[in-house]
Structure 1
Amino acid sequence: MSSPPPTGSISVLARFGLTRQQWGMATIAKLAPLLALLLLVVIGAIVSPSFLSVGNIRSLLLSSAILMILAVGQTFVISTGGIDLSVASIAQLTGITLGLLVVSGWSPEAAIPIALIVGVLAGALNGAIISKLKITDFIVTLGTFSAFSGLTLLLSDARPQVVSSSTLSTIATGGVGPVSYLLLIALAIAVIAYVVMFHTPFGTHVLAVGGNRKAAEALGLSFARVKIGVYAIAGLLAGVAGILLVARLGAAEPTAGSTYQLTSIAATVLGGVSLFGGKTSIVGPLLGAVVLTGVVNLLTITGVPVYYQPIAVGAVVVLAAYLRRYER
């Protein structure tokens, strides 16, 4: 239960037609990522003693690293009031690009930049179609999700491409002390994203377009440039995720990581990013990724059948979206 608002704020609540309950729900919504994490820790400690073991926590954070990266990319898109349903298929496409280049004789170090460029171009294509043809984000990215998935299967002949690389293997399994390289990469990306979002003109433009597109355009901001920019960032980070997924699996699987399509959105919404745009966070989606990964982890170690896991994740997302209405 949240504490009641100060007496001086009651007149403000009345002015906007808010009740104390609505004010309390708004407060809970703002703290949702942290509260969800604390609740997960408490339930995990009660249900399974091994949940809070050092080994399991390290495994959980390692498993959440790729989702963190995708959630950061999704954050830029959703902050403009859009949504990207194609991030998982872009990750698969970049992974297959890397795999095919390595199989054909390229070194992984030379193939990785090419794969990342593919991710950026795929994301920028989303933004260009949305802004130039004036089609809604949902429809465009739903279409490109199917197109990129089909292209991935076509290029790979629906077969995994084995990638043997000591560099990628070290990234996937190594670390600095107890902290894995994958997690360090995710955190470094989050720091860069935070600076871009909150300390650069581009970040200001992203929030302005998301908050009020007409007002932003009246001030001279280019909606098309912002849209292409955020989708290019999402594509780049999807490319990074695809490469790290290849590193973890030791091969480029054409269908690997398909669940990231929705969980990246789920982590972002749970993290406090408004689906209406204009309000964002970088730390929140990171916590959201940890919570969603932790829910699956807890269900797994307690022996809950795997088909219950999407139900649990879906329930968390619906609850987070419900809380967002009060925060708005």
Structure 2
Amino acid sequence: MSESTLTAKEPQSGAPRSGARAVTARLRDVGFWAEWAALAGLVVLVIVFQSADSAFLSSGNVQSMLVAAAILIILAVGQTFVIATAGIDLSIASTMTLGAVAFGQAYQAGWGVGLSCLLAVVASAAVGAANGLIVARGKITDFIVTLGTLSAASGLALILSNGKPVTVIEPTLLNLSTGGIGILGWTFLIAVGVAVLAHVVLFHSRFGTHLLATGGAPESATAMGISTARIKIAVYVVSGLLAGLGSILLVARVGAAEPAANTSFLLNSVAAVVLGGVSLFGGRGTITGPVIGALLLTALVNGLTLLGVSQFYQPLSVGIVVVLAAFLTRFQK
């Protein structure tokens, strides 16, 4: 055997070893697990809960989880747009409540489902526009602004409804909340459609590029001619619009327009975004991550309920998961 043959074969025999070393090094990298924290956590939860209760992955329970996750997915997508610009929308749950109340009042007045849905979206978008204008033009911290509109939207919802829920019995909405294709309910399919559209906008449009630039390096973005103020206004409007869509799905699911805000939607929307790997400092975004994060949180609550764990422990478990996810984000590349 010639020397040239030996030389040619040496890299081939060493390649698998170097490949194995690369895989091992990748698995030992905390940053790798930080990138895939939501998916890894979801897989672990599914294995644990299915082992503890075989009903967890039954078709009925899976369908129930997907329907329950739909609203949270939509809110998490809206929150992602805001957080990607280094902002936050604390009013998103109250905005959804105001949209639901607007729907209920219009429906009670005989406007019909179509106009009631339109009013719900317009009312929620108006709150988003107010947030964006005050943050971008008023130069006030988003935390303070959205904290204020959180209270204002909740108060306005109570005033408009006089603190009383409006029962909505409508076949169209009933079919929206109970119908679907197999285990995929219509509400979940709507949420998936929103996520796909959001992904296209965020990563395949000029608006998405400007949005990420605004969050990552606002001074540089301004120097390049990007109107960062308009971008910030736009993302809050998007958040409001999606909260309005969420309000319609909420009314369809509950069968009533409730004036009481559900703060868990706010906390869980931010939690899903953090779990999904979106940087709270802006400039880094993903849509798939928050969707998986929303599914993880829904599966966590559902699994604990199946196991008969007290509801008092559910917020504790969600909080622990979010803190762990926030810790992992320190190691993201």
Alignment-derived partner of residue 293 in structure 2: 288
Question: 2:73 — aligned with what?
Answer: 68
Q: Is the 8 A contact 2:62 2:183 kept in 1?
A: no
For the pair 1:113 / 2:115, whether they are aligned, the reply is no
Do the aligned partners of 2:59 and 2:183 also contact (CA within 8 Å) in 1?
no
* Structure 2 letter corresponding to 1:70: L
Q: Report the identity percentage.
A: 50
**d(CA) in 1 for partners of 2:59, 2:26:** 39
Distance 1:316 1:45 in 2: 19
Alignment counterpart, residue 30 of structure 1, candidates 20, 32, 35:
35
> 2:259 is matched with which residue?
254
Instruction: Give the superposition deviation at 1:256.
Output: 4.8
Q: Which runs of 5+ in 1 are unaligned?
A: 10-19
Say which of 78, 84, 87 aligns to 2:89.
84
**1:266 maps to 2:235:** no
- In the superposition, the TM-score normalised over structure 1's length comes to 0.92
Structure 1's consecutive aligned runs of 4 or more residues displaced over 2 angstroms after TM superposition are 5-9, 20-23
Which of 61, 65, 78 is the matching residue for 1:56?
Answer: 61
Instruction: Report the more deviating stretch, 252-261 or 115-124.
Output: 252-261
**Structure 2 equivalent of residue 220 of structure 1:** 225
1:92 shift after superposition: 0.2
Aligned twin of 1:14: none
Asked if 1:125 corresponds to 2:124, the answer is no
1:155-304 to structure 2, matched below 5 A, reads 155-304=160-309
Cα deviation code 1:156-179 (max 9, x no counterpart): 111101112111111011112321
SS in 2 for 1:121: helix
- Equivalent-residue separation in structure 2 for 1:114 and 1:296 (angstroms): 32
Are 1:79 and 1:273, in contact at CA under 8 Å, matched by a contact in 2?
A: yes
> How far apart are the structure 2 equivalents of 1:179 and 1:164?
23
What is the CA–CA distance in structure 1 between the aligned matches of 2:62 and 2:183, rounded to whole Å? Answer: 10
Number of positions where the alignment pairs a residue of Structure 1 with one of Structure 2: 314
- Residue deviations 1:195-217 (CA, integer Å, cap 9, x gap): 11011100001100111111111
Deviations 1:254-289 (A, max 9, x none): 115331011000001101111111111111111000
RMSD: 1.8
Equivalent residue letter for 1:102 = Y
- Give TM-score scaled by structure 2 length: 0.91
CA distance in 2, matches of 1:122, 1:6: 53
Q: Give the AA of the match of 2:167.
A: V
For 2:27 and 2:59, how far apart are their aligned partners in 1? Answer: 39
Alignment of 1:136-155 (within 5 A): 136-155=141-160
* Structure 2 equivalent of residue 307 of structure 1: 312
Q: What residue identity is the alignment partner of 2:224? A: L
Taking structure 1 as reference, are residues 38 and 131 closer, same or farther at Cα in structure 2, changes over 3 Å only?
same
Larger Rg: 2
